[in-house]
């Protein structure tokens, strides 16, 4: 169970969810409609916030969030399973790499000061 404040959800979860949906739609090669991206991004933000409140191990949260992204992209890809799965995997690889870069740069700055 990962407890998050309302400020964290508004300032990080929702924008990250919107960018996640947008990048998935771009990878699918679908025309971008701002209203759809915002609607699905906010919906994904709520789903991720609820998933984080569940009393399950942290790795399971990531898998459930990935399934939620896949369902959203599957709906936008006109029920093309392969395209939506590949797009979801690419988005999650990009998220994992960006988090890794963030953590490494944070640790480098933190320990460089000592």
What pLDDT was estimated at residue 1?
Answer: 60
Residue 86 lies in a domain: yes
Residue 52 lies in a domain: yes
Residue 39 lies in a domain: yes
Residue 98 lies in a domain: yes
- Compute the radius of gyration of the chain from its Cα atoms: 15
Burial of 19: CB neighbours in 10 Å, binned 0-12, 13-18, 19+: middle
Structure tokens at 3: 């407890």
Structural domain for 38, as ranges: 6-112
pLDDT tens-digit profile of 5-16?
778 778 888 999
Residue 24 lies in a domain: yes
The answer to whether 91 and 74 are in contact (CB under 8 A) is: no
The better pLDDT of the pair 83, 106 is held by: 83
Residue 25 makes CB contacts below 8 A (sequence gap 6+) with 32, 37, 73, 76
Residue 71 lies in a domain: yes
Per the structure, the count of domains in the chain is: 1
Residue 1 lies in a domain: no
């Amino acid at each position: 169970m990962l407890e998050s404040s309302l400020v964290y959800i508004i300032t990080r979860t929702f924008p990250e969810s919107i960018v996640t949906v947008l990048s998935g739609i771009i990878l699918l090669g679908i025309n971008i409609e701002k209203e759809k991206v915002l609607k699905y991004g906010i919906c994904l933000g709520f789903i991720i916030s609820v998933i984080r409140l569940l009393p399950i191990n942290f790795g399971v949260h990531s898998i459930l969030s990935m399934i939620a992204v896949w369902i959203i992209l599957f709906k936008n890809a006109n029920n093309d399973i392969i395209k939506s799965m590949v797009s979801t995997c690419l988005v999650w690889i990009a998220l994992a790499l960006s988090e890794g870069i963030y953590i490494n740069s944070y640790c480098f700055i933190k320990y460089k000061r000592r």
